[in-house]
A and B are shown apart, each in its own frame.
Chain A
């Protein structure tokens, strides 16, 4: 019980101090709105094309919402030494890092629903397989957050966190099949797509929204889950090696 009091308070503190600040809330709304508008205008097609754009916009919202905030906040706390306060607390490192990342996961998931809500006003969403969308969004939020965590524990300066984040994020936009299928990529780039976790999340979203997916949903979920576990374990190992020296 005591551990969960600590867990909940770390999460609540981060939500209040970082994620629920007006600049982040406005980012969560404006960012997907801008991307949707941009691709919609670019495609030049009717409202029905919203559904084909939705997986990409949702994925970008999750990816940017989670990685940018988490990498910066953890690096900031590490530099200001307030992270030491957490390391001194009698809770396991695993629970501590889950508490620190839960805020970003929730923020990412909330961001993903913004384009869905916008789309609901513009087109018919009755054909969407929600039982696939919801767990996929959650897993994509987790995996993106853990990418952010991996970045945060690999750098020591806030500007390094931002630079390193972009190094991961922008290639993923083009390589994970967000806005054009992986099959359309040059052959030599395709293997890269399959080592990126979001490829599997995007595949589920495409399948759930307009029934176009290249792998089985089971395989997508298993690989996405494996990435979550692997990235979290890798980040914990790095924290122990780099921060408890």
Chain B
């Protein structure tokens, strides 16, 4: 993967208020050239507001934004030349066809007719929309709309790409395709700034991630470094009859190599650096009249790190995923 040390995006003390509400609160970060940077947080955390400020759609109340060294408040149009934006909602023209929409977006960047038609056909092919090229955008399915909006964002081959929740609300197959395209763009050297509330998506794609909660960045780090504390941990989740929760103390003395934690009523979490041996644990519990209804192993992920760092319960993010629907986490 291509990466250099020139900051493609540099943000210093960025702040945005809407009346009494502080949407973005004094955040600073930088995205290096060729890097795939994730901006992870729940809905309402300030992700879209940040993107809007970085791309010139919202005014800064305080702070500095530099795009490839160009201060965006001083020279917004020069900065906009360098960026492509895929917003969280489709914003193309319903009365134009897919092909016309792409050609129109290319024209906004000054591309000549032959050049924009060639590029539009190429992108329709890349996104599997060639058959729908001559259909009106209004008649597209949600996944198709999302893909065409993505294509419109990269029509001028921008060196820096802002993606706002690119897979939210689309089907599994389209989400996989979009993620593959993001990975390909990154491999070819495009700097990608990706906001998402799909933790698995960020973990899978991003080199570095910033966690944003209530308008503040609570941690920025390389994905590998974020995962370090949970790397190599073995976790077993036992679903037990309620009485099992009282046995944690006794279990710790019998199985000192394991750490026990009651995470929810009727649920015991067992952590260990070694693989957890299920048999003795289940026997121990059953001998004491506790019924084990389910034993599930899982590898701790970025979600555990996110919960630990932000204090936001994992269930909240899960509910947001379900609410958004689609294939973002597939």
Interface residues in chain A, defined as those with a beta carbon under 8 Å from any beta carbon in chain B: 1-3, 5-6, 8-10, 13, 17, 80-82, 84-92, 244-245
Contacts and interface: CB of A to CB of B under 8 A. Distances in A.
B56 A244 contact: yes
SS class, residues of chain A in contact with chain B: helix
A132 to B, nearest CB: 37
Contacts of A10: 107-108
Given A5-B107, A6-B108, A244-B59, A89 B80 contact: yes
B170 interface: no
B288 interface: no
B213 interface: no
B283 interface: no
7 contacts: A2-B110, A13-B96, A17-B96, A82-B91, A85-B92, A89-B108, A91-B108
B85 interface: yes
Interface string B91-110: 11111100000001101111
Contacts of A81: 87, 89-91
A34 B2 CA distance: 67
B111 interface: yes
B55 A90 contact: no
A3 B110 CA distance: 6
SS class, residues of chain B in contact with chain A: loop
Contacts of B80: 88-90
A92 B77 contact: yes
Contacts, number: 69
A9 B77 contact: no
A148 to B, nearest CB: 20
B90 to A, nearest CB: 8
B202 interface: no
Centre residue among A10, A82, A89, A90 by max chain B CB count within 10 A: A90
A5 B112 CA distance: 7
Nearest to B18: A245
A108 B152 CA distance: 32
Contacts of B96: 13, 17
A244 B104 contact: no
A86 B77 CA distance: 12
Contacts of B278: none
A85 B91 contact: yes
Interface in B73-93: 77-78, 80-81, 85, 87, 89-93
A226 B59 CA distance: 30
Contacts of B95: 17
Given A2-B110, A6-B108, A89-B109, 14 more contacts: A5-B111, A9-B107, A10-B108, A13-B93, A13-B104, A80-B94, A85-B152, A88-B80, A89-B108, A90-B81, A90-B108, A90-B110, A244-B58, A245-B18
Contacts of B307: none
A84 B57 CA distance: 8
